[in-house]
Structure 1
Amino acid sequence: MIILGVILAVAGFLLGIPLLVTLGIIVAVIGVILMVAGSAGHAIGGRRHYY
């Protein structure tokens, strides 16, 4: 999710589409939150790892 968010943000920046940049940042932040929660040992969605 982090990589997808970065790709969306860069594509939105290069194409000049602010909505894509915003969505990319949101997806990247959600990916970071899931990664941190998963590495801390918390089960996410009933799974130990979300990937």
Structure 2
Amino acid sequence: MSPSRPASEERWWNATCWARSGLVKEGRFRSDSPRGVWELSDEGRAFTRARSE
């Protein structure tokens, strides 16, 4: 049995997973990146470029 995470870490992890999921659904992140890797999609790169100009 592995030790459980503190509640604050669980909340952070859950919120982070939901944030990534939303960005994938919006097309901003790639859905096929390896576990633990967050990678911008082409649309995400275009969105980021447009906001930085």
TM-score, structure 1 length as denominator?
0.50
Q: Which has the higher contact order (CA 8 A, sep 6+)?
A: 1
TM-score, structure 2 length as denominator? 0.48
Rg comparison, structure with higher value = 2
